[in-house]
Amino acid sequence: MGKETKLMVGTDITDDHLYEHCAFHADPGQQPLRIDKFLMNRIENVTRNKIQQAAKSGAIEVNGASVKSNYKVKGGDHIKVLFSHPPHENLLIPEAIDLDIQYEDDDLIVVNKKAGIVVHPGFGNYSGTLINGLLYHFEQLPLNSSDRPGLVHRIDKDTSGLLVVAKTEFSMANLSKQFQEKTSSRKYIALVWGDVKEDEGTIEGNIGRHPQNRLQMTVFPDTSSGKMAITHYSVIERLGYVTLIECRLETGRTHQIRTHLKYIGHTLFNDARYGGDNILKGTTFTKYRQFVQNCFTLLPRQALHAKTLGFEHPSQKKWMDFEAPLPHDMETTIDKWRNYAQHKHI
């Protein structure tokens, strides 16, 4: 393991050997756009401040020359983010992170991930990830096809809930096969904007990277692009301007629930990346807007929780089910909406 590298404001990079962490080509029709904003739309789980720090330290190059954060990206520009440490080896550093382990044996671990924790290291998140914590608690974990220790599947940074982690090569292969063949079971609880009319339904539509915003996924209904994705949902409770639903994944695409729910017009509550931080139209009452803002403060993330997880144990060959209760931020926000709806303020 290498020594942890931290990005320091105002520290120039002078090493002879730099390593490429990210690279992008601006489309020919790209309109002039500050490079910090450009990169915000292309690098996941990174803040604008971290991008600005990288530019200040000379770590961002355009067409081979270092640029500042106010550089305007133009069509055809070749952008690179460079650092003096390799992009993978020095990121896998064990850290004493508190993990909520629901179950553990010789083959696997089931973790209840807190919202706000990134699952694996990447640009802008070199430490504090779930993998950093796992490597501290478990020295040896098998690598998946992306060289990420133990990971069978993942959930987004601001989604809470259950993950299974493999401790052996055999468990990694077996569990990965279950997820690929759709024999595992995953259910999520989501609070969405709008009154979902049908009690239950299925959303089908290929999911792929959004052509304009590379941090978003989008649905390609004509199946010309993306990968097939299926999400089943059922209504738990209608609360006026929002609805509490359960989602069951048949496939496991990136941002699948977030993308599918936006596609049917019911974006996740406070999902900033997909527009869920915009207050649903329907009223202009000042008190209503303040109420929603208060809910956003209570739940400063998308309202999505991976509540249940089921799979066949790789070596014991018995079915295992796990359930994680709603975290406090979601439970409190749902209670507020329930109280609001009951008092007919809507």
DSSP symbols for 46-106: --HHHHHHHHHTT-EEETTEE--TT-EE-TT-EEEEEESS-SSGGG---------EEEE-S
DSSP symbols for 258-314: HHHHHHTT-PBTT-GGGTTTSPPSS---HHHHHHHHHHHHH--S--EEEEEEEEE-T
Instruction: Check if the beta carbon of residue 19 is closer than 8 Å to that of residue 57.
Output: no
The residues with which 19 forms a beta bridge, in sequence order, are 83
Residue among 207, 213, 250 nearest 30 (CA): 213
Residues 6+ apart with CB under 8 A from 214: 41, 42
- Please tell me which residue in 36, 77, 156, 329 is annotated as part of the active site: 156
3-state SS, residue 123: coil
Annotated catalytic residue 16: no
Instruction: Check if the beta carbon of residue 26 is closer than 8 Å to that of residue 38.
Output: yes
Instruction: Check if the beta carbon of residue 241 is closer than 8 Å to that of residue 346.
Output: yes
- Taking the C-alpha atoms of residue 254 and residue 247, their distance in angstroms, rounded to an integer, is 15
Instruction: Check if the beta carbon of residue 121 is closer than 8 Å to that of residue 92.
Output: yes
Catalytic residues: 156
